[in-house]
């Protein structure tokens, strides 16, 4: 993407009512958003997050299918989720928002028990050992997710990375968390929940065209 195109998207994001771009320093001091998301959406519907939402395809598709649930996509790259934010406005999806920030600040944005579900879709597996702290399912991230999820809250990991799938399963089992569902090739398993296979991203379609297996884990965090 050219720099001019990026700048144009950044400027448009500034005008979108469904895009929130807080400063890191402000979040660390205490965000006014925290604990007030139901006021933002003007309802008491469940809140679902997509972490590392990219273009926002998953967020938008889930919001279209579930109008009584609020969806929030989080990503640091605003030029990417610009497409999702624009689509939400064009289609008058009032149950969608996007936040441009680092995922490690999730506990600065949401209150305890404020979130019902988390989706992590096709994250960078950060395979090198030195990148462990950046994996979105490492132990520190899981603690943050647990903090913002309500008692019945679940986390979904959908990935094309066998490494990420195996790493996460091992971590979950080792720490005593509850794995509700796991499979290494969801499109070859007739028991895969329909909500997992009915929503696909651009990159997911590319992986499927190449015959690459898509893996999925649904789990609850127990501490």
CA angle 96, 97, 102 (to 5 degrees): 140
SS3 55: coil
Pairing relation of β-strands 149-159 and 215-220? Answer: antiparallel
182 with 216: CB under 8 angstroms?
Answer: yes
Beta bridge partners of 73: 50, 98
| Active-site residue, from 14, 26, 124, 185 | 124
Contacts of 199 (CB under 8 A, 6+ apart): 58, 61, 62, 65
Q: What's the DSSP call for residue 139?
A: H
Decide if 124 is catalytic: yes
SS3 36: coil
Q: What is the set of active-site residues?
A: 124
């Amino acid at each position: 993407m050219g720099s001019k195109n990026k700048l144009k998207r950044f400027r448009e994001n500034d005008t979108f009512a469904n895009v929130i771009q807080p400063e890191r320093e402000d979040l660390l001091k205490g965000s006014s958003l925290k604990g007030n998301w139901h006021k933002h959406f003007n309802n008491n519907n469940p809140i679902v997050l997509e972490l590392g939402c990219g273009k926002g395809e998953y967020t938008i598709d889930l919001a279209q299918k579930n109008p009584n649930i609020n969806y929030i996509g989080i990503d640091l790259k605003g030029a990417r989720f610009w497409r999702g934010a624009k689509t939400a406005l064009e289609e008058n999806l009032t149950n969608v928002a996007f936040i441009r920030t680092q995922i490690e600040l999730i506990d600065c944005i949401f209150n305890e028990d404020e979130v019902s579900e988390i989706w992590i879709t096709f994250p960078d597996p950060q395979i090198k050992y030195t990148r462990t702290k950046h994996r979105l399912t490492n132990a520190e991230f899981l603690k943050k997710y647990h903090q913002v999820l309500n008692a019945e809250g679940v986390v979904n990991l959908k990935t094309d990375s066998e490494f990420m799938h195996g790493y996460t399963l091992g971590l979950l089992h080792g720490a005593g968390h509850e794995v509700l569902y796991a499979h290494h090739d969801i499109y070859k398993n007739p028991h895969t929940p329909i909500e997992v296979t009915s929503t696909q991203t651009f990159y997911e379609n590319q992986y499927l065209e190449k015959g690459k297996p898509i893996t999925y884990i649904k789990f609850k965090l127990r501490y």
